[in-house]
Structure 1
Amino acid sequence: MAESWKGVPEEDLPPITATGWFRVMLRGLTLGTLVFGGLLILLVVRLIEWPLFGQRRPVTPYITQVVCRNSFRILGMGYASQGAPMQGAGAVVANHSSWLDIFALNARKRIYFVAKAEVAGWPAIGWLARATGTVFIKRDRREASAQVQLFRERLAAGHKLLFFPEGTSTDGLRVLPFKPTLFAAFFDPALAPHLQLQAVTVVYTPPEGADLRFYGWWGDMDFAPHLLASLAAAKHGKVTVIYHAPVKLNDFENRKALAKALEDQVRSALPEHGLIQGAEG
């Protein structure tokens, strides 16, 4: 398991007021109904979709997109995107700074996350991940051939596989060095000839007057308080998802060169306060 990025400790979250708790209840109930109602619909549709299309999912990803896009409306949080998602199958990489990334990246683009195998066993999150087609991998060299085969099958089905090469989440003000080892499987001859990759930058703008790290979720931060603070906020900022020009794997001689090029693309779109050379640990 990758180590968590610690960074500068977060400030204590402000206490939630009575009005804030009202927003928590209203938004929480509405958001929960949307997410789990959408999941139920997805599972029912998948019962029909799987026998007809197998790994290909021509319908259910749209349900995920509708849920994720409307989640931001429920929160009262702005959502915008720039650039064009690549066409066809391939790999997508992005910076990682919040649990909200899952919603932001799914809202416009039909993608399938690549996650460590342990996530499948997490309460609620693991269930949602499995239902939406997440690819679970073991970070074990002995599993390399099986991993390549799994990627081949999913790419052959036209899937866009998204992973976070930083290996952990940050405060959103920096991009950590991309781990070249995470790109190793894509250089297998079975995948390399026609594989394309697209870098995506997720930029959070905090509410006016709030800490720049308002949406960041990292290190040892607990999920529940962060979720409650997001639900209770009187005003929200926005998230912008920026799609960079896709690159072809064959244009890079090794995984280190590829990782650095994609890392530079992602970092280039962060605002000035985010141009921090993040260090691991």
Structure 2
Amino acid sequence: MTWDPDKVEAPQPPLDRATKLRFWLRAVPFGTFIAICLLIQVLLRQVERLIHGMRRPWTPYLTQVVCRAFFFFSGMGFRVTGTPMKEHGAIVANHVAWIDIFTLHAAKWVYYVSKAEVRGWPGIGILARATGTIFINRVRSEAKQQEQTFRERLSLGHKLLFFPEGTSTDAMRVLPFKTTLFAAFFDPALRDTLKIQPVTMVYRAPEGADPRFYGWWGEMSFGWHLVRVLGAGKQGEVEVIYHPPLRVADFADRKALARACEAAVRGGMPPERQIIE
């Protein structure tokens, strides 16, 4: 049976005082840094919009600075393997936790495609809106509207990034990819020129910690996980692996493309994490 994050125990043991103290020592300066950068971003975006409209040639630089700062303030390791594509297209990746937002932005300019409820999340929702995230409801009745939005953003040169698993995990597996959003890439105006780059994020826990340390699933609260990660005495690392891009035109339909992307992403995981659910 497929691993279901809502049916698997998500332990939340009490956090000790040292963890909470380290959290505040890191969160306060990082939060201040984010607030300053966010203010600059909002002001800069007003000028950018007047000159470039929906295009964003300036503000992504600031977004990338903030996301790289996360690793500086948290002490978490970060490295990139492979080469991010320069061609017109989109990116698909496995989904582990809210940390993915910082991880993938730190590596390359991207624009997230996210579930609509993220818009209202404390802190993360504000950052998502400021960085041009596309919010969607995963319902068939809105599929055509979503395709139109994707087409418009891709035509502007934006590299869209989405998580086909549809949910976050315990970092120990890749779930089957949902195929609905892949349909937009087969639009006649996009199919012949578009490429999709699969990306694998491999999170390695701090030495001696539960291998699922960075995973966020089930009923695990955002606040508890945030304090746990930022308050860790020792940190692990994340490796971002860029796989060779896939030409949409080489695939018969969205299901075939989704299967190929899923295989590439799963193949980038350590052998013990390549479980097929």
CA contact (8 A) 1:16 1:232 kept: no
CA distances 1:200-230 after superposition (whole Å, capped 9, x unpaired):
0001010000000000001111011111111
* Deviation (angstroms), 1:41: 1.3
Residue identity opposite 1:64 in structure 2: T
Give the conservation status (yes or no) of the 8 Å contact 2:10–2:219.
no
User: Does the Cα contact within 8 Å between 2:10 and 2:218 map onto a contact in 1?
Assistant: no
Moved more, 31-40 or 56-65: 31-40
The share of aligned pairs that are identical, in percent, is 55
Match of residue 107 from structure 1 = 106
CA root-mean-square deviation: 1.7
CA distance in 1, matches of 2:217, 2:141: 30
Match in the other structure for 2:154: 155
**Alignment-derived partner of residue 236 in structure 2:** 237
Letter in 2 for 1:274: R
| Greater shift in the superposed pair: 224-233 or 164-173 | 224-233
Aligned to 2:13: 13
Equivalent position SS for 1:201: strand
The separation in 1 between residues aligned to 2:152 and 2:41, in whole angstroms, is 22
CA drift at 1:137: 2.3
Q: Distance in 2 between matches of 1:211 and 1:7?
A: 19
Letter paired with 2:165 = E
Q: Which residue of structure 1 lines up, in the alignment, with residue 198 of structure 2? A: 199
Greater alpha carbon shift after TM alignment, 75-84 vs 132-141: 132-141
Distance 1:58 1:172, change over 3 A: same
Distance 1:189 1:56 in 2: 23
Indicate conservation of the 8 Å contact 2:12/2:224, yes or no.
Answer: no
- Structure 1 residue aligned with 2:215: 216
Q: 1:21 to 1:125 in 2, by over 3 A?
A: closer
1:91 aligns with 2:83: no
Q: What 5-or-longer segments of structure 1 have no aligned partner? A: none
**Residue ranges of structure 2 left out of the alignment (5+ in a row):** none
- Where in structure 2 are the equivalents of 1:133-144 lying within 5 Å? 133-144=132-143
- Size of the aligned set, in residue pairs, is 275
Matched to 1:151, the amino acid is: F
- Report the Cα distance in structure 2 between the residues aligned to 1:112 and 1:144, rounded to whole angstroms: 19
Give the deviation of 1:20 after TM superposition: 2.7
The AA in structure 2 aligned to 1:78 is G
1:187 to partner: Cα distance = 1.4
SS at 1:107's partner residue?
helix
Distance 2:99 2:225 in 1: 11
Partner SS for 2:192:
helix
CA distances 1:224-257 after superposition (whole Å, capped 9, x unpaired): 1111111221110001100000011000001111
Q: Shift of the alpha carbon at 1:152?
A: 1.6
Match runs of 1:58-137 below 5 Å = 58-137=57-136
Distance 2:270 2:150 in 1: 33
The whole-number CA distance in structure 1 between the counterparts of 2:10 and 2:125 is 26
Alignment partner, residue 166 of structure 2 = 167
Q: How far is the alpha carbon of 1:151 from its aligned partner?
A: 1.2
Q: State the shift of 1:7 in Å.
A: 5.4
Following TM superposition, the consecutive aligned residue runs of length 4 or more in structure 1 with deviations greater than 6 angstroms are none
Name the SS for the 1:176 alignment partner.
coil
TM-score, normalised to structure 1, is: 0.93
CA distance in 1, matches of 2:190, 2:115: 21
Q: Secondary structure at the match of 1:242?
A: strand
CA contact (8 A) 1:88 1:158 kept: no
Shift of 1:125: 2.6
- 1:34 Cα deviation (Å)? 2.0
Distance 1:128 1:11, change over 3 A: same
AA in 1 matched with 2:206: P
Q: Contact conserved, 2:12 with 2:220, CA < 8 A, in 1? A: no
Deviates more, 1:186-195 or 1:212-221: 186-195
For 1:211 and 1:118, how far apart are their aligned partners in 2? 29
**Shift of residue 116, structure 1, vs aligned partner:** 2.3
In structure 1, what is the Cα distance between the partners aligned to 2:142 and 2:21?
Answer: 48
- TM-score, normalised relative to structure 2: 0.94
Q: Look up the equivalent residue of 2:5 and give its one-letter code.
A: W
What corresponds to 1:25 in structure 2?
A: 24
Partner in structure 1 of residue 43 of structure 2 = 44
